[in-house]
Chains A and B, each alone.
Chain A
Amino acid sequence: DAGVIQSPRHEVTEMGQEVTLRCKPISGHDYLFWYRQTMMRGLELLIYFNNNVPIDDSGMPEDRFSAKMPNASFSTLKIQPSEPRDSAVYFCASSLGGLRYEQYFGPGTRLTVT
């Protein structure tokens, strides 16, 4: 079975550009999570969805960040405009049943904003 798929795996962009990260969760999973990992702040939950509906976006750092889940098999995380401090590894994860259950992570997207 395919795991969580993320694209691109690496993204290098210039400050001010729009960045879109993509995620395909494991088929049948009803929860999808976006995390950011940095050396300074560790792993942070940005937003999560249940059945394609955003449940908690309190971790989204600011209005420059937005996330959508148009259907059960696809989600995007967009940063517009990007800034150097957004440089991090962004992980998508999915689970069956929510926060009480194990989450399965994608390989991550390493974003570098210059």
Chain B
Amino acid sequence: AQKVTQAQTEISVVEKEDVTLDCVYETRDTTYYLFWYKQPPSGELVFLIRRNSFDEQNEISGRYSWNFQKSTSSFNFTITASQVVDSAVYFCALSGTSSNTGKLIFGQGTTLQVKP
């Protein structure tokens, strides 16, 4: 069975601090896809990044960076110099490639609060 675990339920930081959101996944597929989504207080889900299992290069997009490590089945997300606008719930998600694992499975989410 596929599973995504976001062990941090809530994180609170002060603006300008760096923060890392953890994501650990389980799958038996050799090919799979990992995603991060952001859900701000307004409620919509916003796509942030997609990564396939064969690409372990870290990715940086502005203040956001992602660290994918197959050896530890982790896909962590770091926000550098956090801002109040980063306050949101962040979801890690996994999609396998076989017929019974192809659904997108979401973690329970990490609520990030950035205080001014």
Interface residues of A (CB under 8 A from B): 33, 42-43, 45, 48, 56, 59, 89, 91, 93, 98-108, 110
Contacts and interface: CB of A to CB of B under 8 A. Distances in A.
B104 interface: yes
Contact of A103 (B52, B97, B104, B109): B104
B47 A104 contact: yes
Given A100-B33, A101-B50, A102-B35, A107 B106 contact: no
Contact of B43 (A45, A48, A59, A108): A108
A47 to B, nearest CB: 11
Given A99-B95, A100-B95, A107 B103 contact: no
Contacts, number: 46
Interface in B20-58: 33, 35, 37, 42-47, 50, 52
Contacts of A59: 103
Interface residues of B, number: 21
B43 A89 contact: yes
B33 A91 contact: no
Nearest to B93: A43
A99 B44 contact: no
A43 B97 contact: no
5 contacts: A99-B33, A99-B104, A100-B97, A107-B43, A108-B43
Interface in B100-115: 102-104, 106-109
Given A43-B91, A99-B103, A105 B45 contact: yes
Contact of A45 (B45, B47, B103): B103
A106 B95 CA distance: 20
